[in-house]
Amino acid sequence: MRWSRAFIPTLRDDPADAEAVSHRLLVRAGYIRQLMSGVYSLLPAAFRVRAKIRKVIEEEIDRIGGQEFLLPALHPEEIWDETGRIEVMGAEMFRFVDRRGAGIVLGMTHEEIFTTLAQEITSYKQLPQLWYQIQTKLRDEPRPKSGLLRVREFTMKDSYSFDLDDAGLDEQFDAHFEAYSTIFRRLGMDAVAVEASSGAMGGSGSIEFMVSSPSGEDDVARCVNCGYAANVERATSQVSAIVDEPGPDAPEKFATPGVRTIEDLVTFPGGADADRQIKTLVYMIDGEPALVLLRGDHPLQEQKLADQTGAIEARPAHPEEINDLMGADAGSLGAVGVSDIRVIADQALEGRTNMTTGANENDFHIRGVDVARDISVDAWYDLREVQAGEPCVECGEPLEVFSAIECGHIFKLGVKYSEPLGATVLDENGKARPIVMGSYGIGLERNMAAIVETHHDDKGISWPVAVAPWEVVITVVKVGDEASMHAAEDLYAALQGAGVDVILDDRNERPGVKFNDAELVGIPYRITIGPRGLASGEAEFTTRATGATENVALADAAAKVTELVRAAR
């Protein structure tokens, strides 16, 4: 490729709406352009990067026995109805009615569709199977942001395993774990495997692969001592035991004028410390109200609430709903004596006595609450969100919490899809059994963005060699110098012949413009050819990642670069 003929529309200034580093740099370096909210065009350089990411993924999934498919993006609505996921996916699923009046959905994922194909597997002798595709997914994302990190249209590798039993699923799950670890290592990312919520996918368990980044929308709790790691949607920690002082024989109501928050009650004369308060939240869980109780200093993790209750939708009640239900405003609520509303409590409250909570009357609270005596708890769950510095649940050392980008997710689905869709096989005894499934996803464009998030500096992107659109750029200082162009052409041909992805910057631009563009675009190696170096038979060789520059013999340049590129792929 010659830069003079390439479409690489680099920009001098950052896009005004860019929040994430990857968004800013991918636009500036001429990789992507926004068509509308959450929808991006990939320009030629981005297409080359994406192709290399795809190649790495295909190689590693093929290595563990994957067979590649291509399934439709248009799905009949009734298949999603059979598994109940029409309701679960809700407004994030694109839906329409065709000219014949049939309900159609656009594929967000393909568990249902692959499972319908698995209905053709009839015997345990045909198992195990591992199927995958790399295909466009469409989601009506409510808050598209951060460039390619949160979009409405994207490409995903989704693979699916089919086995006779849980032991087979475990084997394929472990194989994917190793394949994913290799994929992210080859892509140049330090991905941390963490316990995760399965969310709308369901099943018995899942693991996310997370890459630390300030632009990440997930938080991960990790123990550097023992290696425990989990998304905060799933993470737990040790809770220090609290010895409560003896309380009264019955709870006591007292006036708290103007008190509406946990902190207000801490500072109120005769109030209570946060860890001796019961925080009462009103949530609508699949349309039904529930009181959610936590210790005053513990935040609620909403995904835990949804997972533990099996809710399709769990949302905070609106102020008017709270007042109609409880007769008081938020900040004055409590569960003492409540019997006609479902009460869900965090496990850290179990056994607590002499606590303080709202009286369900504005400007009043209740002290001396014995949870077991005074509150009818319908269910105890782990609901709180862990905080940095809390003791690790495994070893007791302090946890760290950091923002991260989810780059891959693997799920143990079990029979969640095969059972309702009738995907069964006959076992060795002739008995029909539902196929046991796993599901495994990687977003291609999201990984492109994640690589940029972790490989950049103040000059631009610094691609790992394995995914760079071009591995080497030959920069000609003076394109009008015949000897320089002749040397550059020879080197260009030699590198192409050695299988190196090389671009020749033959533009009639100032050297500074060319150097800046090469750094912004992020090409790993640059060979600069100019009249001064040529006079001594040398070229300038620069490594983008380190900025190190050295003079090399022009005659040796092709061999040197080829060796470096092959070692880094």
Q: Are residues 127 and 21 in the same domain?
A: yes
Residue 171 maps to a domain: yes
* Residue from 445, 492, 448, 442 nearest 466 by CA: 448
Residue 97 maps to a domain: no
pLDDT category at 57 given cuts 50, 70, 90 is very high
Q: Are residues 319 and 359 in the same domain?
A: yes
* Residue from 68, 58, 61 nearest 132 by CA: 68
Residue 322 maps to a domain: yes
* 63-66: long-range pairs with CB below 8 Å, 24+: 63/179, 64/130, 64/172, 64/175, 64/176, 64/178, 64/179, 65/130, 65/175, 66/130, 66/131, 66/132, 66/159
Mean pLDDT of 408-425: 96
Q: Report pLDDT for 200.
A: 63
Q: Are residues 304 and 358 in the same domain?
A: yes
> In what side-by-side order are the strands of the sheet with 288-295?
314-316, 278-285, 288-295, 342-346, 379-381
Mean pLDDT of 265-274: 96
Q: Report pLDDT for 240.
A: 84
User: How many CA within 13 A on the CB side of residue 253?
Assistant: 11
Distances in whole angstroms, Cα of residue 476 to Cα of each of 179, 479, 492, 505: 41, 6, 11, 6
Number of domains in the chain: 3
Determine the Cα–Cα distance for residues 549 and 543; give it in Å rounded to an integer: 7
Q: Report pLDDT for 202.
A: 61
Mean pLDDT of 282-310: 96
* Residue from 449, 482, 485, 484 nearest 467 by CA: 449
Residue 504's beta-bridge partner residues?
Answer: 2, 474
Coil vs helix vs strand at 432: strand
pLDDT category at 205 given cuts 50, 70, 90 is confident
3-state secondary structure labels for all residues of 295-319: ECCCCECHHHHHHHHCCCCEEECCH
Residue 456 contacts residue 464 (beta carbons within 8 Å): no
Residue 89 maps to a domain: no
Determine the Cα–Cα distance for residues 442 and 412; give it in Å rounded to an integer: 15
> Where in the sequence is the domain holding 520, given as residue range(s)?
470-568
Q: Which residues contact 110 (CB under 8 A, 6 or more apart)?
A: 71, 133, 135, 158, 160
pLDDT digits (tens, 9 = 90+) for 491-545: 999 999 999 999 999 999 999 999 999 999 999 999 999 999 999 999 999 999 9
Residue 478 contacts residue 488 (beta carbons within 8 Å): no
Q: Are residues 360 and 277 in the same domain?
A: yes
Q: Report pLDDT for 482.
A: 95
Q: Are residues 438 and 503 in the same domain?
A: no
Tokens 């490989």 belong to 455
Determine the Cα–Cα distance for residues 351 and 371; give it in Å rounded to an integer: 7
Q: Report pLDDT for 198.
A: 72
Q: Are residues 303 and 356 in the same domain?
A: yes
Measured from the Cβ of residue 337, the count of other Cβ atoms closer than 10 Å reads 12
Residue 142 maps to a domain: yes
Residue 546 maps to a domain: yes
pLDDT category at 483 given cuts 50, 70, 90 is very high
pLDDT category at 241 given cuts 50, 70, 90 is confident
Q: Kindly report the CATH number assigned to the domain that includes residue 338.
A: 3.90.960.10
Mean pLDDT of 411-416: 95
Tokens 């910057």 belong to 505
Q: Report pLDDT for 203.
A: 63
Instruction: Decide: pTM greater than 0.85.
Output: yes
Q: Is residue 343 over pLDDT 80? A: yes
On average, the pLDDT of the chain sits at 96
Q: Are residues 117 and 191 in the same domain?
A: yes
